Amino acid sequence: MTEKFDIIVVGAGVLGVAAAYHLQKSSPNKSILLVDSQPEAGQANTAMSAAAVRNMFSSTTNQLLTDSSIAFYRHIQEGLGFDLTMHMCGYLWLLSAGQFKAPSVKMWMQRMEKSDIHYQVYEQEELQKLIPGMTTKFSDDDEEAQLMNLNNIDYALFGSECGVLDPDLLVKFYKQEFIKLSKVKPRFSLPVTSLLLEAKPSLGLPGEPYVWQDKRVTGVRTPKGDIHAETVVLAVGPWTNSLLDPVGISSFVKAKKRQLFIIPASNHPPLEQLLFTKGFSKAGFLPFTILPSAGVYVRAVPEEKSFWIGCADKVGRAYKYVMEEQDYKAERSYFEESMYPVLSKYFPAFQNVRPVNSFAGSYCYSFDALPFVYEQAGVIVATGASGSGIMKADAIARMADALYRGEKETELYGGQKMPTTALTISDRQVEVERVII
Amino acid sequence: MTEKFDIIVVGAGVLGVAAAYHLQKSSPNKSILLVDSQPEAGQANTAMSAAAVRNMFSSTTNQLLTDSSIAFYRHIQEGLGFDLTMHMCGYLWLLSAGQFKAPSVKMWMQRMEKSDIHYQVYEQEELQKLIPGMTTKFSDDDEEAQLMNLNNIDYALFGSECGVLDPDLLVKFYKQEFIKLSKVKPRFSLPVTSLLLEAKPSLGLPGEPYVWQDKRVTGVRTPKGDIHAETVVLAVGPWTNSLLDPVGISSFVKAKKRQLFIIPASNHPPLEQLLFTKGFSKAGFLPFTILPSAGVYVRAVPEEKSFWIGCADKVGRAYKYVMEEQDYKAERSYFEESMYPVLSKYFPAFQNVRPVNSFAGSYCYSFDALPFVYEQAGVIVATGASGSGIMKADAIARMADALYRGEKETELYGGQKMPTTALTISDRQVEVERVII
């Protein structure tokens, strides 16, 4: 006596709830069970994000995925009146002259122009006027700056169609809309420990499935028993490997720890001034700002009157096959030794100010920093969002739904179309992403 | 007091010894240390291979890598007089009419024609004459065949520029030639436990390298102490992840167990007759033969008067992040339940005959079944050969050498050229391989 549904969506992070919603909307008569190991939706890595959204990618595919998803999120907030605390504060990429002129940045700019992604170039003088407290040029005898390989800020690329939002609210939207349509109540605090792989048809012999049998994932194993489904949708980010590898379904993703440190701006007038930097957008606060060195970035959180400081550390930060408990703890020494020195050189207002809080989560990287969305043996896999899952969740979910319905093309929000196989392993049609933070 | 070399090549499997040889040949004045955890070269997965070589791939890149490598191996044996017990017995892909007409097989054939890879099509009648003991058509009331999804054999693709060799001899060749050129004696039974990642320049502070420092792999850690090098070449197949992940260098490969079962043909006249099947090639024995169902293949070993039986199991066979001890033990039940039923249906001569021996090793898969050859932070990585490392080792080694020397193009044996970045992660230029066994 096991339960059976048409679809089980494993993972109620932003990708999972968005997929559940689009699947149920397209197939109203299908029974869809959404399960997650956490007590509520969006509580794992979705909650640990810097929660910024940008369409400023170098890969045309990533541009399309994000641009259409961001447009849908604006529609949720402005059209449907569901507040996501989404602000179009923009993204500000600070660059040295050398970086600005690098072929990879030129290509990035050209590809954005081709895709009609709006951005604007600022030069040093103008930047200095807009952000008076920012160090744009280190003096020639600044030994610290030299030691830390700090680039001057000669240019910036500013993308106005980028911003920030609250991923918890976005998850709430999708979950609420899914629940309105679905006949099946989502189940939380229910971990999926493995996928059930069965011979089709089964002969009921020990040792099945044999190599000569057709095989299909027929459901999931949980501590409360097996649950069967025609199709399993897997949206579990950095846990993808541990569910797919045992059944021999390809998944080539790696986890990487990402941490954010919260610095309050209240009671620090220079920081408050920086936080509410005007002149870039109507949002009236500092854009999501990426420093030209060391991968350090600054996210203003006006509701909290605080900054979140993050860092895209590359070589030197371990990749993980499975996340361990320590990967969900931010390291104070990392802030002190690696991020603070850089941050306080570019923004002296941060000098001697320390984080009051921190959090850590995990990215789920693919080799080319584009998501994987593919079907194999009854499993639709959506993974490898590579740190930009929130900003492309809607598009990824629509692709998963199109895969489920066997549609050759996926219509994204706004009407643009993509081949539904574009993000598969076997028919991948993408440009490798080069603008990764 | 640590030792220092120009290059350390980690891994003395076929990729490692070939890389050491080509690097030393191109850079005679560089000191190159070859290290391996095993007591001799080629004793890990290289020794566990079916040891067949083919240029019959669907990806143009794989065609080029294998075709040029096979040509070099022929040159070793025929030109340099170093016996590899290489026989051009050919590859015989048995196909049903449905398989033969599938778009993926048509594309395979077209791409081989375009690349001047010679193959010939056999039809059922001709095949039946050449291999009288083979079942090409199952009767309509053969319930076993139906149950096992066994395809009839309607066609075959035969590639004459394919064959078999002894990988141990190939490893010996490269190792011997490397030793002739090298000033440094290879070290065996010396496992590399981790890569050394250091800040450049180092400040000698605790917690280095920090995020704002330039970082580079400066050597390897072994139980006998650290060994430094300007460049580390990593050719460790399924152990790639465990060395690269901790230092945060990208590696997106997975291991998968592969096993071979040895069945003697002596004292079994029908098997001996099958073994010495004439008519396909001058080699005078059965080509490397892939059955049209379940991924089972048959490799004749005329020197031993035996067959090696293998199977390319896909879904259902676990991917592994790291290989475990049990992954190096062949499973008798796997032969009995999965391979034997298929094998004995197509070749009744195998009925009631059982393996006298078996061995197991590991493939190292990339997502697209093409190798990765790239440089990051002082490490040149050659990995992900996806089960065809022996047949493309020479080309991969030449690419690693070209990467080391900063050459934009790699000249393969025979003079054909490839962009040296073609197999990198960031500038990958390949067609996904579809013909995987």
Write out pLDDT tens, residues A400-420: 999 999 999 999 999 999 999
Q: How many other CB atoms sit within 10 Å of the CB of residue A201?
A: 9
CATH of B88-162+254-363 given 3.30.300.160, 3.40.605.10, 3.40.50.150, 3.30.9.10: 3.30.9.10
Q: Do B245 and A213 touch (CB under 8 A)?
A: no
Residue type (1 letter), A131 = I
Residue type (1 letter), B239 = W
Of A251, A318, A377, the CB nearest to B248: A318
Q: Do B252 and A366 touch (CB under 8 A)?
A: yes
Stretch (H or E) spanning A123:
strand A120-123
Contacts with A98 (C-beta within 8 Å, 6 or more apart), sequence order: A151
Residue type (1 letter), A302 = P
Q: What is the pLDDT of residue B87?
A: 98
Buried b (16+ CB within 10 A) or exposed e, B274-311: bbebeebbebebbbbbbbbbbbbbbbbbbeebbbbbbb
Closest to A383 measured CA to CA, from A234, A196, A246: A234
Comma-separated ranges of CATH 3.50.50.60 domains in chain B: 3-51+168-253+368-419
Give the residue with greater pLDDT, A323 vs B210. Answer: B210
Output the tens digit of pLDDT for each of chain B's 437 residues.
679 999 999 999 999 999 999 999 999 999 999 999 999 999 999 999 999 999 999 999 999 999 999 999 999 999 999 999 999 999 999 999 999 999 999 999 999 999 999 999 999 999 999 999 999 999 999 999 999 999 999 999 999 999 999 999 999 999 999 999 999 999 999 999 999 999 999 999 999 999 999 999 999 999 999 999 999 999 999 999 999 999 999 999 999 999 999 999 998 999 999 999 999 999 999 999 999 999 999 999 999 999 999 999 999 999 999 888 888 999 999 999 999 999 999 999 999 999 999 999 999 999 999 999 999 999 999 999 999 999 999 999 999 999 999 999 999 999 999 999 999 999 999 999 999 88
C-alpha distances (whole Å) from A79 to each of A75, B205, B406 are 5, 54, 54
Please list the residues that pair with A196 across neighbouring strands: A219
Q: What is the pLDDT of residue A157?
A: 98
Candidates A212, A216, A364, A433: best to mutate against B (most CBs of B within 10 A) is A212
Determine the distance from the C-alpha atom of residue A181 to the mean position of all C-alpha atoms in its chain, rounded to a whole number. Answer: 26
Q: Do B315 and A342 touch (CB under 8 A)?
A: no
pLDDT at A424 over 70: yes
pLDDT per residue as tens digits for the range A343-380:
999 999 999 999 999 999 999 999 999 999 999 999 99
Q: How many other CB atoms sit within 10 Å of the CB of residue A326?
A: 9
Q: What is the pLDDT of residue B1?
A: 64
Please list the residues that pair with A290 across neighbouring strands: A93, A297
Q: What is the pLDDT of residue B325?
A: 85
Reduced to 3 states (helix: H, G, I; strand: E, B; else coil), residue A335 is: helix
Q: B433: nearest CA in chain A?
A: A426
Nearest-10 Cα torsion for A145, A149, A154, A157: -130
- Chain B contacts of A315, Cβ < 8 Å? 197, 215, 247-249, 376-377
- Chain B contacts of A425, Cβ < 8 Å? 367-368, 432
User: Tokens 């109540």 belong to which residue?
Assistant: A185
Q: What is the pLDDT of residue A326?
A: 84
Buried b (16+ CB within 10 A) or exposed e, B39-64: eebbbbbbbbbbbbbbbbbbbbbbbb
Q: How far apart are CA B194 and CA B222, in angstroms?
A: 7
Of B247, B368, B425, the CB nearest to A316: B247
Q: How far apart are CA A259 and CA B247, in angstroms?
A: 18
Q: Omega before B201 cis (within 30°)?
A: yes
Contacts with B402 (C-beta within 8 Å, 6 or more apart), sequence order: B409, B410, B411, B420
pLDDT at A1 over 80: no
Q: How many other CB atoms sit within 10 Å of the CB of residue A224?
A: 10
Q: How far apart are CA A35 and CA A227, in angstroms?
A: 11
Q: CATH assignment of A3-51+168-253+368-419?
A: 3.50.50.60
pLDDT per residue as tens digits for the range A119-158:
999 999 999 999 999 999 999 999 999 999 999 999 999 9
Q: Does B109 touch chain A (CB under 8 A)?
A: no
Q: Does A314 touch chain B (CB under 8 A)?
A: yes
E strands, A173-235, are: 194-199, 215-222, 225-234
Q: Do A319 and B245 touch (CB under 8 A)?
A: yes
Structure tokens at A384: 């490898």
Residues B125 and B136: beta-carbon distance below 8 Å: no
Calculate how close chain A gets to B131, using CA atoms only, in Å: 23
Query: A87-163+254-364 belongs to which homologous superfamily?
Result: D-Amino Acid Oxidase, subunit A, domain 2 (3.30.9.10)
Reduced to 3 states (helix: H, G, I; strand: E, B; else coil), residue A387 is: coil
Residues 163-202 (B) with a CB less than 8 A from some CB of A: 197
Of A147, A247, A317, the CB nearest to B248: A317
Q: What is the pLDDT of residue A324?
A: 85
Q: What is the pLDDT of residue A322?
A: 86
- Chain A contacts of B295, Cβ < 8 Å? 211
Comma-separated ranges of CATH 3.30.9.10 domains in chain A: 87-163+254-364
Structure tokens at B332: 């008798």
Closest to B214 measured CA to CA, from B239, B228, B197, B194: B197
- Chain B contacts of A426, Cβ < 8 Å? 432, 434
Calculate how close chain B gets to A313, using CA atoms only, in Å: 6
Q: What is the pLDDT of residue A261?
A: 98
- Chain B contacts of A432, Cβ < 8 Å? 425-428
Q: What is the pLDDT of residue A437?
A: 86
> Quick one: DSSP state of residue B187?
B
Q: Does A295 touch chain B (CB under 8 A)?
A: yes
pLDDT per residue as tens digits for the range A158-189:
999 999 999 999 999 999 999 999 999 999 99
Residues B137 and B124: beta-carbon distance below 8 Å: yes
Q: Does B368 touch chain A (CB under 8 A)?
A: yes
Residue type (1 letter), A81 = G
Q: What ranges in A276-378 are assigned the alpha helix state H? A: 332-334, 340-346
Q: What is the pLDDT of residue A179?
A: 98
Q: A248: nearest CA in chain B?
A: B318
Residues A41 and A186: beta-carbon distance below 8 Å: yes
Determine the distance from the C-alpha atom of residue B232 to the mean position of all C-alpha atoms in its chain, rounded to a whole number. Answer: 22
Q: What is the pLDDT of residue B434?
A: 93
Q: How many other CB atoms sit within 10 Å of the CB of residue B373?
A: 30
Of A197, A319, A434, the CB nearest to B316: A197
Comma-separated ranges of CATH 3.30.9.10 domains in chain B: 88-162+254-363
Q: What is the pLDDT of residue B132?
A: 97
Structure tokens at A274: 């920086």
